A and B are shown apart, each in its own frame.
Chain A
Amino acid sequence: MLTVRASGLHVGRGNAAIAGPFDFELTGGTALVVTGPNGAGKSTLLRTLAGLLRPIAGEIALSGVNAADGEPAERLAEVAHYVGHRHGMKTAITVGENLAFWQRYLGGQSQPGLAGVSPAAALAAVGLPGLERIPFAYLSAGQQRRASLARLLVAKRPVWLLDEPTSALDVASQARFAALVHEHLAEGGVVIAATHQPLGLETAETLQIASRGAQEAGVPGVEIDEADLAAAEGWL
């Protein structure tokens, strides 16, 4: 059984903690919706979970899932798709070539456990059938977003880390994407999403991040004041 657990997790940029502590445990089939005002640290939390930033304190534990090489996965990034603000698609080549690259790169073609659907089928699933021969630059903002969401389908990963996945999407596309998320959860996947819009995840747990001012105090090892410095110097 897939379990993702965060204990005492503080996230931040550089050495400055922005948000935390987070304690949550997710098992296969559940979703976590991260909400909070702008600048509260939603993206920072997701980037930390994706392994792009180092946690300031605390840890992320993972159990019950194998990575691409068949060994038990140790890092969340090995079994996760990360969808950030930027698309990760090249504008100079076509949508189909972009998706085919990610499919090969993520092992969605060669490794049986990770096999996803073909780029054409993934585009149809996000409502862009027949667009695989169009250069990515020609798509509208919403279409680009949907095409980059199609990456979730070309290679299978049990954990989806979604940062504002439905920004620039119209209502029908949001509903279509919510259905894809439900399907992923029904297959035993885990979704962690930062979003302002309802994803149709009424059953999901919610993690509310308070704004910066409310949680300034109590972050270990980050805030250094004069008294601490003096104490440390005396100690040395």
Chain B
Amino acid sequence: MTALFLRDLKLALTGGGGAMTGVIFFLAVVATIPFGIGPDLNLLSRIGPAILWIGALLSTLLTLDRLFQADREDGTLDLLIAGPLPMPLVVLAKCFALWAASCLPLVAASPLLGLFLALEPAALFAVMATLFVGTPAIVFIGAVGAAVAVALPRGGLLVSVLVLPLAIPVLIFGVMATYGAVNEPDPFLPPFLVLCALTLFFGALGPVAAGAALKASGD
């Protein structure tokens, strides 16, 4: 499992894996919003956390469709299915690698991009913390969509459409927790803990479902 994680991480980082596309897309979305909205700092800092979250969600979806497709095209997926590691663990290792390669940079970049949106320091850290615990849930949900669409030649759009409704609760609680950290009467901890629970829930369910879908897609 470590071997698979390290190989996938290396492939994603050495290029051709497409992990950097997500980061650049995130940068593009967040950097253009202030130009579109105009120099209203109050408005920007009010909608800033939501923009960061939507940007992170979309750029994660962008990188998801290649999660299994590249492996399927060069025959690696056959060997992984036939190999000694159970499929849920294969999916888990690949999800961790994708998260480390494409979501961790998003988390790291989010405070910097938050400055563009005139977020106050508490909100910067809240966005970072909620993205850190929330993005794995998006990856796990997306893995199921990517596994279902693996045999389709243009599955990318289908993955996004399949995954988006399931990812909405993650977005809602992520943004809610961030606002809780800034606006005084709203609580931070309850939505944050729900976010953690969502990640753990999809972390248990997603790899099993994706593994079953990959096994059934063998041809």
CB of A77 within 8 A of CB of B82, answer: yes
Contacts of A91 in B (CB 8 A): 16, 74
Which of A27-35, A50-58, A172-180 touches B?
Answer: A50-58
- A59-89 vs B: 1/0 string, CB under 8 Å? 0000000011000000001101010111111
CB of B218 within 8 A of CB of A47, answer: yes
CB of B4 within 8 A of CB of A52, answer: no
Query: Of all chain B residues, which has the CB nearest A105?
Result: B3
Tell me, yes or no, whether B153 is within 8 Å of chain A by CB. no
Tell me, yes or no, whether B183 is within 8 Å of chain A by CB. no
Complex partner residue of A84 from B2, B14, B75, CB under 8 angstroms:
B75
Tell me, yes or no, whether A229 is within 8 Å of chain B by CB. no
Number of A positions contacting B (CB below 8 A): 29
Q: Would you give the shortest CB distance from A40 to chain B, in whole angstroms?
A: 17
CB of A90 within 8 A of CB of B11, answer: yes
CB of A106 within 8 A of CB of B75, answer: no
Q: Would you give the shortest CB distance from A91 to chain B, in whole angstroms?
A: 7
Q: Would you give the shortest CB distance from B89 to chain A, in whole angstroms?
A: 11
Contacts of A77 in B (CB 8 A): 82-83
Complex partner residue of B11 from A82, A87, A92, A106, CB under 8 angstroms:
A92
CB of B84 within 8 A of CB of A53, answer: no
Query: Of all chain A residues, which has the CB nearest B73?
Result: A86
Cα distance, A27 to B73, chains bound together (Å): 34
Query: Of all chain A residues, which has the CB nearest B218?
Result: A52
Complex partner residue of B78 from A84, A93, A97, CB under 8 angstroms:
A84
- B141-161 vs A: 1/0 string, CB under 8 Å? 000000000000000000000
Q: Which residues of chain A (80-137) have a CB below 8 Å from chain B?
A: 80, 82, 84-93, 97, 101-102, 104-107
Query: Of all chain A residues, which has the CB nearest B2?
Result: A104
Contacts of B7 in A (CB 8 A): 90, 93, 97, 101
Among the interface residues A52, A87, A90, A101, which one has the most CB atoms of the partner chain B within 10 A?
A90
Tell me, yes or no, whether A212 is within 8 Å of chain B by CB. no
Cα distance, A85 to B219, chains bound together (Å): 13
CB of A82 within 8 A of CB of B218, answer: no
Cα distance, A84 to B84, chains bound together (Å): 17
CB of A106 within 8 A of CB of B84, answer: yes
Cα distance, A148 to B74, chains bound together (Å): 11
Cα distance, A52 to B215, chains bound together (Å): 7
Q: Which residues of chain B (1-60) have a CB below 8 Å from chain A?
A: 2-4, 7, 10-11, 14-17
Q: Would you give the shortest CB distance from A1 to chain B, in whole angstroms?
A: 23
CB of B81 within 8 A of CB of A104, answer: no
Q: Would you give the shortest CB distance from B76 to chain A, in whole angstroms?
A: 5
Complex partner residue of B85 from A89, A92, A97, A105, CB under 8 angstroms:
A105
Q: Which 10 A-B pairs have the closest CB atoms?
A: A86-B75, A104-B3, A88-B75, A92-B16, A52-B218, A77-B82, A88-B79, A101-B7, A105-B3, A88-B76
Given A50-B82, A85-B75, A92-B17, 9 more A-B residue pairs with CB atoms under 8 Å apart are A52-B78, A52-B82, A78-B84, A84-B75, A86-B74, A86-B75, A88-B75, A97-B10, A106-B83
Subset of 26 A-B contacts with CB under 8 Å = A47-B78, A51-B82, A52-B81, A53-B219, A77-B82, A80-B82, A82-B79, A82-B82, A84-B75, A84-B78, A86-B73, A86-B78, A88-B76, A88-B79, A89-B74, A89-B76, A90-B74, A92-B15, A93-B7, A93-B10, A93-B11, A93-B14, A97-B7, A104-B2, A105-B3, A107-B84
